[in-house]
Structure 1
Amino acid sequence: MIESDVVEVVKLHKELEELQKKIAAKVPLDELLDESFMRIYTFFGFVTVQELIDACEGLIGLAYSDIDKNDEKYNEYIRDNTSFDNWSEMIGKATLLWAEKQLEKK
């Protein structure tokens, strides 16, 4: 019985990750990482995601779309400047919060 529960939880987790990816692909980044999110989950007074990106020395002048979100230097920067271990974790949390807000509106 417990094994089937674990399998079900793993299945739900994978479905949630897929939903998060779909939402993140369709919702503008500045809507996911809005001012409220940035104030709560980042350090050093970042208000916008662009401020966070612009403050990363290795990313100066790069468009967001050109940043390698899997790059260890970038994830180290995220770790040092936010409450998250990497970009993926940060987007995951932002997506969950965005979805909760949408449900509250209904």
Structure 2
Amino acid sequence: MVSTLWKVDELASTLLLIRFYENLETLSTVTALNEAQQWLRNLTSEGLEALLKCLKPQIDRTFKLLPKKERTRFVNAPLDGALNRKPFPFADPHYWAGFTAIGV
């Protein structure tokens, strides 16, 4: 089980867990989580932009499945601070260090 030690940013959690599950195909749980944490920490703003562009069709499909009330909540949500133009938007440990693997 992978959990967090504190409340973690939703976008950071989503990206880290996508990478973690991709890693599980070839790595142990602990190694997969560690690699995903390092990947998120080192993700550049350009890499984030390219990744979000690549994920857009999946995001759009999922968005259409949400009830209208939920869609409004996400449309009206302020942009996350991580999406600003920092060279490494998730470098701060708050975004990736709180994840832990339990029961491995």
Same fold (TM over 0.5): no
Task: Report the TM-score, using the length of structure 1 for normalisation.
Answer: 0.30
Relative to its length, the structure with more strand (as a share) is 2
Task: Report the TM-score, using the length of structure 2 for normalisation.
Answer: 0.30
Q: Which structure has the greater CA radius of gyration? A: 1
Relative to its length, the structure with more helix (as a share) is 1
